[in-house]
Amino acid sequence: MKFTKIVLFAGLILPSLNVCAATLKATYQFNNTLLAQESTAPALTETNPLGLNGFEDAVVFNRPLRVFHWDGDTTPNLQAGLSLDTRGLIPANSYSVEMAFEFSGISTNGWRRIIDVQDRTSDDGFYVDSSDHLNIFPEQGGAALVPFNTFHHIVLTVNTAGTVQAYLDGKQQLNLATTQMNLNTPHRIMNFFLDNTLGGGQGEFSDGRIAWLRIYKGDLKAAQVKQLYTSGVSVSGSAIDLGAYNVSCNNLTSGKTVSIKTRSKFDCEQQGLAVKPADNVTLIAQGSKTDATKTVKGIILGFSKFNLQCDNLTTGAAITVPDVKSSWDCENAGLSVTVGDTVKVTVQGNAH
């Protein structure tokens, strides 16, 4: 049985994107193959002792994707998972791993292995612990829950200063001074979901499904992790200070449209709009300003970037803002709005 500390993070400051030197080296999309998209990267190797692994369809962040399903047993030699030979791909002490996956069960003691870098010879490594938190054992665990049967965006970063960080759905959970995740074994194999076969704490395994895996040289910074997470979710968003507003979601590529009325969040894909990566999508939200102490603003997800237009239909004023990443604010961008004015917000871009 493992025992661990819990650490809380508040007031996280996100650095600018240009401070990161991380370079994407390998991309695995699991579209009926374990090959990398990059010809210079090795294929993943599967461990499949029960012969139950395979590819299947799933809904990931409200999008239909092809995923890889690993299916084994908690007995060490019957566990299933994936392995990657990192020699020549990434440095031993400066890399990042980005994943979207779900666990579908709970192991014997509740711990579930995510990544092993010690050739399955040690209990140490990256886990979801028995309290459903991300954990670098034997260091400490995070605060946010990682429930099973739900896809999550998880990132692990390792840097040359001896710092390991872990992120869950765009938010930092761990920031540790440790070399625990350095790739120091002779073969430098990185194992995914496969627990140790030697030492204590064996059997910490769960079946699951993985939608994508990306390997980077260098450590991703917090702002990049957040952007990777938001670009992987469905076309969705929220608006503040528009009262009960109407949203029209238009996929210009397919010609399909859905309409939503809400006071807070909306999700075009949950409401039935099918969206594929690179589809040209326009969102139009319209409502009336209700609070003089707030600004008309919000968040849009599901795009790598988008163009924003804010129209005050009452006064006829309008502003445009190109290449917005996610957060928008019509009034801070220069649109004058008073309580009672009708505002139309138009977003246009290509879905990620």
> What are the beta bridge partners of residue 348?
282, 307
Query: Which residues, 6+ apart, have CB-to-CB distance to 348 below 8 Å?
Result: 280, 281, 282, 283, 306, 307, 309
What pLDDT is attached to residue 12? 28
Among the residue ranges 27-31, 39-43, 232-236, the one predicted with the least confidence is 232-236
pLDDT band, residue 21 (cuts 50/70/90) = low
Question: pLDDT: is 64 or 206 the higher one?
Answer: 206
Q: Which of 231, 258, 293 is the last residue of a domain?
A: 231
108 in the same domain as 124: yes
169 in the same domain as 31: yes
User: Does the pLDDT of residue 5 top 60, yes or no?
Assistant: no
User: Does the pLDDT of residue 118 top 90, yes or no?
Assistant: yes
pLDDT band, residue 14 (cuts 50/70/90) = very low
20-24, 43-47, 59-63, 302-306: range with highest mean pLDDT: 43-47
The number of folded domains in the chain is 2
17 in the same domain as 118: yes
271 in the same domain as 226: no
**SS3 (DSSP) at 300:** strand
Q: Which of 213, 231, 249 is the last residue of a domain?
A: 231
pLDDT tens digit sequence for 170-221: 999 999 999 999 999 999 999 999 999 999 889 999 999 999 999 999 999 9
User: Does the pLDDT of residue 46 top 90, yes or no?
Assistant: yes
Question: pLDDT: is 75 or 301 the higher one?
Answer: 75
241 in the same domain as 100: no
In the predicted model, what is the mean pLDDT of residues 289-301? 94
What pLDDT is attached to residue 51? 98
67 in the same domain as 202: yes
In the predicted model, what is the mean pLDDT of residues 49-72? 92
How many Cα atoms within 13 Å fall on the side-chain side of residue 274? 6
The boundaries of the domain holding residue 83 are 5-231
Kindly state the helix (H) or strand (E) to which residue 240 belongs, with its residue range.
Answer: strand 236-240
CA-to-CA distance for 231 and 342, rounded, in angstroms?
30
Share of residues in the chain with pLDDT > 90 (%):
76
End-to-end CA distance of the chain: 42
Query: Which residues, 6+ apart, have CB-to-CB distance to 121 below 8 Å?
Result: 196, 197, 198, 199
pTM value > 0.75: no
Q: Which of 206, 231, 256 is the last residue of a domain?
A: 231
216 in the same domain as 296: no
174 in the same domain as 114: yes
279 in the same domain as 145: no
269 in the same domain as 224: no
39: tokens are: 């010809």
pLDDT tens digit sequence for 265-283: 898 988 889 888 889 999 9
User: Does the pLDDT of residue 1 top 60, yes or no?
Assistant: no
251 in the same domain as 210: no
Where residue 122 sits, what CATH number does that domain have?
2.60.120.200
CA-to-CA distance for 336 and 311, rounded, in angstroms?
10
246 in the same domain as 226: no
